[in-house]
Amino acid sequence: MKTQYLIWAFLLTAVLPACQHKTRYLKEAEMLFEQGVEQRAAKQSEAASESFSQALLAINRCDQAQPEVKQLKAQIEDNLGFIYWRHELFSEAMPLHEDAATLARELNDSTLLMNALRNCGRAAASLGYIDAAEQYYDEALAFAKALNDKTMENEVLMESSRDVYLVKEDYDQVIERVTRARAAGAKGDSQLTLGLAYYYLEQDSLAFTHLNEATKNEMAGVRMSAYQCLYYLYQIEEDYQKALECHELFNENMMQADSTHRSEQVQRIKAEYDLQVQKNALQAEQKLKSLYLYLILGGLMVALVVVLLLLRQKTLSAKLKAEEMKNQLELELKKNKVYVTALALTEQITVSTLDFDLKDSEWDDFVTLIDKVYGSFTKRLMEKYPNLTKSDLQICCLTKLGFSNQVISILMNLQTNSYARRKSRIKQEKMNGTEDERSFEEIINGL
């Protein structure tokens, strides 16, 4: 009898602490998740990311078979993935959203699954997986209809129009989805999306109508994109006075959008700075307890200064060598036939300068030299915008060198109007034009 009591006591001693640990980790994960949600609402994205990451570590120590653990883990992963997506860490965001969707399916939680699938669609589209994005958005749309969530249904219709069907050039589907969303009360950038669809369908009268409505949008970024498209349309119509007005309004709204963006950044930085100040205060209190630690830090700082001075000397030497190499490469570039031809056209367009014949090998040599002078420029372009074609890259290289639209259109054997439409299509379809508020030239020069 005593032996049985001893066995039970041993089992309780071994099992109870383990259960307590799992409960503690679950509570810790819940606390960190709620903290992350508050920080995200306060635009403290870095702090929220840290809280969600710590919450994920804590929840992974719990019993993964428990429904409450699965649900909290799915919420943590979906929120952390969203922050990664906002910071353009698309490859890190995608697996988090996919795992959140898997857990939601196991729990048969339709609302949680709907949100995770929508986020999967966003991440997949950002990674260029357009077919996968279409499937995710369609499944999220089906859940939104089943749950009668009109807000989510409208948002998915609008996002899938921009992320999937504009990229696929299925403009009829874009118009159909945006029209459905607008009929249900959606607004946002719907007029801009419709205007773009009709613009690419070359139904200019409808494009004008919706783009002009988009210029009344409360968001400066939407107005800026609308004026940019109107600028190209008026150029095609040869109404250069209107085109000039749209260009001026584009610049005005671009400044407003930039100002708003900076204001949001300042608010986020201030919130994160306040949080960092609190952390620094606690750290300073701990450091004051040990004078020895200060002495070590002082010695490390002296050593660091010495190392930095040595590194600076090496860096300056390397910089001088790099500048010398760049100068040599620029001289080589100026001898390239494509560059020489473009320069001749810039100086004077005559029968003589128009009589040129550029071979593929000369274009390849030109692009190779651009990569050498501007640090793998085209490779970086392709990494960020993988859908660019060979001729697109040639246009980007000529733009990088600052040649005019007229010169580039001649070199690419295009009419000026056709080139304007071509450049607009590259930006809108292959460079995330609906999200990137900069002009084509600003995107190129920003790399």
Q: Give a yes or no: residue 145 inside a domain.
A: no
Greater confidence (283 vs 240) lies with: 240
Q: Give a yes or no: residue 347 inside a domain.
A: yes
DSSP-assigned states of every residue in 39-62? HHHTT-HHHHHHHHHHHHHHHTTS
Query: Confidence band (pLDDT; 50, 70, 90) for 81?
Result: very high
* The one-letter amino acid at 275: L
Greater confidence (167 vs 319) lies with: 167
What are 314-350's pLDDT values in tens digits?
766 556 555 665 676 677 777 788 888 888 888 888 8
User: Based on the domain organization, do 300 and 404 belong to the same domain?
Assistant: no
Whole-number mean pLDDT of the chain? 82
Q: What confidence score (pLDDT) does residue 316 get?
A: 67
User: Based on the domain organization, do 303 and 342 belong to the same domain?
Assistant: no
Return the minimum-mean-pLDDT range out of 232-236, 293-297, 373-377: 293-297
Q: Which of 44, 100, 46, 108 lies closest to 72 in space, CA to CA?
A: 100
User: Based on the domain organization, do 351 and 318 belong to the same domain?
Assistant: no
What are 88-146's pLDDT values in tens digits?
889 999 999 999 999 999 999 999 999 999 999 999 999 999 999 999 999 999 999 99
Q: What confidence score (pLDDT) does residue 435 get?
A: 73
Domain count of the fold of the chain: 2
User: Based on the domain organization, do 399 and 300 belong to the same domain?
Assistant: no
Computed from CA positions of residues 357, 360, 364, 370, in that sequence, does the dihedral angle turn out positive or negative?
positive
Q: How far apart are CA 82 and CA 97, in angstroms?
A: 8
User: Based on the domain organization, do 312 and 397 belong to the same domain?
Assistant: no
Burial 123-155 (b: 16+ CB within 10 A, else e): bbbbeebeebbbebbebbbebbeeeebeebbbb
Is 0.85 surpassed by the pTM of this model?
A: no
Greater confidence (46 vs 262) lies with: 46
Q: What confidence score (pLDDT) does residue 416 get?
A: 81
Cβ-Cβ contacts under 8 Å for 148 (sequence gap 6 or more): none
What are 276-296's pLDDT values in tens digits?
545 555 555 566 656 656 667
Q: What confidence score (pLDDT) does residue 433 get?
A: 67
Query: Confidence band (pLDDT; 50, 70, 90) for 18?
Result: very low
Query: Confidence band (pLDDT; 50, 70, 90) for 16?
Result: very low
Q: How far apart are CA 153 and CA 15, in angstroms?
A: 48
Computed from CA positions of residues 195, 199, 205, 206, in that sequence, does the dihedral angle turn out positive or negative?
negative
Could you give the percent of the chain with pLDDT greater than 90?
A: 25
Greater confidence (13 vs 420) lies with: 420
Q: How far apart are CA 173 and CA 197, in angstroms?
A: 9
Q: Give a yes or no: residue 182 inside a domain.
A: no
User: Based on the domain organization, do 428 and 343 belong to the same domain?
Assistant: yes
Residue 61: other Cβ atoms inside 10 A: 15
Q: Give a yes or no: residue 92 inside a domain.
A: no
Angle (CA) 157-126-177 rounded to 5° is 15
Note whether 220 and 250 are within 8 A (CB). no
What are 62-75's pLDDT values in tens digits?
988 999 999 999 99
Greater confidence (234 vs 297) lies with: 234
Domain residues for the domain of 440 are 335-447
Q: What confidence score (pLDDT) does residue 142 get?
A: 93
Note whether 141 and 149 are within 8 A (CB). no
Q: What confidence score (pLDDT) does residue 286 get?
A: 60
User: Based on the domain organization, do 310 and 397 belong to the same domain?
Assistant: no
Q: How far apart are CA 136 and CA 138, in angstroms?
A: 6
* The one-letter amino acid at 315: T
Q: How far is CA 46 from CA 42, 119, 238, 327, in A?
A: 11, 19, 49, 41
User: Based on the domain organization, do 307 and 359 belong to the same domain?
Assistant: no
Note whether 210 and 182 are within 8 A (CB). no
User: Based on the domain organization, do 354 and 417 belong to the same domain?
Assistant: yes
What are 209-228's pLDDT values in tens digits?
888 888 888 888 788 888 88
Q: Give a yes or no: residue 255 inside a domain.
A: no
Q: What confidence score (pLDDT) does residue 192 get?
A: 85
Q: Which of 416, 444, 413 lies closest to 240 in space, CA to CA?
A: 416
User: Based on the domain organization, do 348 and 386 belong to the same domain?
Assistant: yes
DSSP-assigned states of every residue in 383-409? HH-TT--HHHHHHHHHHHTT--HHHHH
Note whether 104 and 116 are within 8 A (CB). yes
Q: How far apart are CA 216 and CA 380, in angstroms?
A: 36
Mean per-residue pLDDT, 35-52: 89
Using the predicted structure, report yes or no on whether residue 269 has a pLDDT greater than 60. no
User: Based on the domain organization, do 387 and 444 belong to the same domain?
Assistant: yes
Greater confidence (295 vs 170) lies with: 170
Q: Which of 60, 4, 65, 58 lies closest to 34 in space, CA to CA?
A: 58
User: Based on the domain organization, do 344 and 418 belong to the same domain?
Assistant: yes
Query: Confidence band (pLDDT; 50, 70, 90) for 77?
Result: very high
Cβ-Cβ contacts under 8 Å for 37 (sequence gap 6 or more): 48, 79
Q: Give a yes or no: residue 250 inside a domain.
A: no
Q: Give a yes or no: residue 295 inside a domain.
A: yes
Q: Give a yes or no: residue 317 inside a domain.
A: yes
